[in-house]
A and B are shown apart, each in its own frame.
Chain A
């Protein structure tokens, strides 16, 4: 536990000394500001504002920005040779992976909490539905964890950060749009399986309308867990090469 905590602390601190993390934060705030503003303007006087709407956009953006946050995590250690050092320290391989995952997740949490300012504005404008906002944030947080696990997985597979980021984006895009992918498949059983992997339908049709469903919660946690396990295996496999 101590080891995970030490690695977590370094990884989180690393984000605050890295320009990429600041660029990502800047881009997220900017984009969220635009969408929030648009949404307010479109509904002005016609309908109450949906507090979850900016978060659906944010989930969609995550597909592109989360791999930018995770690409460094293992690819850089691999290239700089620091992974060799970590693997000869008295700690277990999975502790490295979990520490890094939690560091990235914590930064993601900070990032999405920046959008709380929009919620505060909504609250000031009109009585908002707290429950929906709360569920949407829980969902977005779980969604982020699963996305980070995807990104981390590709970062472990690859020494090149750019390739890791690109593969992460491609995988997340497919997972986000898995409904559409399922639609073009001939085999019904396979199609249903692929559709059930959709990050979008596991988020937008439950959390984003204020429902915290057990199966969708388990889905995101399960994806996270399985990918972390796979990542730990990849790291460990370096010993046997």
Chain B
């Protein structure tokens, strides 16, 4: 449904995209994960026909986004990062306006339908300036859905929402994913894991990984650090030495009353740590993977890339 072929985009001297390629099948939720400035928004803007690529091609529903821009735009619903709203319009008036511009038949009743879908029909007559941020996000989503598009492109739809609203939007995206192809950008790893069928990780305009979320997690976990807390040990130094002596442990960093242990790539040292600690007569109080921050993941992935290159 979405096909991107070695897309590049250059802003002056800055290369925002350096030849990315990926595909999304029909009915798939594709997560687009990356830190700010990675090129997520640029890719989405190209796919929605807002701006042309510098080179490369992109297709939505087999239409070229540059050559058949209008055909593509008819089939895509787009929620930009800053939700595009008219503060002086009512919720229903706004969605109806977009529906009319999209030539949706019976725009008024269709607008009511999508507002019901996103749970905003009770506020249909409120002015947009008076509704909360989470509600604005949902009105933006309603706008993107009003013409029942084949492809939905959502640029960080959960940013700035409170946890409950975030959950609601994720739920909504997941339920929409059954009938639509969705491309969904985020910089929160766990969000991509929960919502998406497949994740593309993009960093500095390049794709650094592309896989199912579980597979990506396993791949990343291997290089992850472990959090180890030990009780009844004579001294922290003794524990550190003991941990370093375990085969496969690459590095031990003391934390406050605990240690962060890095294993060599591809080695699972959890069992060995447990037995080494109990063999020494100490107590293993805690042993868990340290959650990786997004920055660490990129570091990890880019290092992997460099090694394989």
Residues of chain A whose beta carbon lies under 8 Å from any beta carbon of chain B? 2-3, 6-7, 10, 14, 17-18, 80-82, 84-91, 238-241
Contacts and interface: CB of A to CB of B under 8 A. Distances in A.
Contacts of A238: 51
Interface string B69-82: 01101101010101
Contacts, number: 58
Given A80-B82, A90-B73, 13 more contacts: A6-B97, A6-B101, A10-B97, A84-B50, A84-B84, A85-B80, A88-B76, A89-B102, A90-B71, A90-B103, A240-B52, A241-B11, A241-B51
A7 B102 CA distance: 12
Question: Which applies to chain A's interface (DSSP): helix, strand, loop or mixed?
Answer: helix
B143 interface: yes
A81 B101 contact: no
B84 A2 contact: no
Interface residues of B, number: 28
Contacts of A7: 101
A3 B97 CA distance: 10
Contact of B84 (A80, A91, A239): A80
A82 B86 contact: yes
A85 B143 contact: yes
A86 B74 CA distance: 12
A87 B45 CA distance: 10
Nearest to B77: A88
Given A89-B101, A90-B74, A239 B51 contact: yes
Interface in B22-79: 45, 48-52, 70-71, 73-74, 76, 78
Nearest to B44: A88
A87 B84 CA distance: 11
Nearest to B107: A6
B288 to A, nearest CB: 42
